Amino acid sequence: MTFRNLADFARWFLAQPFSSLRPPQVPVSYYELATDEGAAKGAAVTGVVLYRCPPYQVEMFSVHATEHGASFPEHRHPDVDSIECFLSGDIAFTIAGKRVATDDQLEQVQADGSHALSGALLRVRSRDWHGARVGPQGGSFLSLQRWRDGVKPTSVALNWIGPPHVSARHE
């Protein structure tokens, strides 16, 4: 399938019924991210590839709930342009040190019980330094990606510049 750009791909993917997903047969990855002192032992993150047709890919990330939450210092993914799609939980994303949602927005819940930001999109380019603070209840998001310059898609958790160091293992 051909897409004009990342935004065109994101619109197409997000319009697909869940039943049409055909994830590639790749391992579900478990990452331990060495984060700040609030999560000195690291945070547990699970990454699942939901779709892959190079150069495009979609990963779903879930940050596990922890007593203190976790903080992911600003970093970038040098070979990936992405659109992040908030799903649920308590994730305060930053770009260039600036929060992209207020505390009030992060606390809003719809009448049906869904998070008010569910489905909100955030554009992150390969040159953008970005990070996140995840609250104690954890959270999840989709990363809709376009891998640049012929780089084979793996995981944005492995295509990383800046702290923290990521270690991956499959469980």
pLDDT digits (tens, 9 = 90+) for 17-55: 987 777 888 877 777 665 555 445 567 888 899 999 999
- Give the tokens for residue 18: 């869940």
- Average per-residue pLDDT for the chain: 86
User: In angstroms, rounded to a whole number, what is the distance separating the alpha carbons of residues 37 and 55?
Assistant: 36
Residue with tokens 């019980």: 113
Sign of the dihedral defined by the CA atoms of residues 14, 162, 104, 48, in that order? positive
Q: What topology does CATH give the domain 6-15+38-165?
A: Jelly Rolls (2.60.120)
Phi then psi dihedrals of residue 106, to 5 deg: -70, -20
The whole-model pTM stands at 0.85
Q: What angle do CA 100, 70, 121 make, to 5 degrees?
A: 30
Return the pLDDT at 41.
Answer: 57
Distance of CA 120 to the CA centre of its chain: 12
Count of other CB atoms within 10 angstroms of residue 113:
6
Asked if residue 102 has pLDDT above 90, the reply is no
Return the pLDDT at 170.
Answer: 46
Return the pLDDT at 103.
Answer: 84
Q: Which residues contact 157 (CB under 8 A, 6 or more apart)?
A: 29, 31, 33, 45, 47, 61, 166, 168
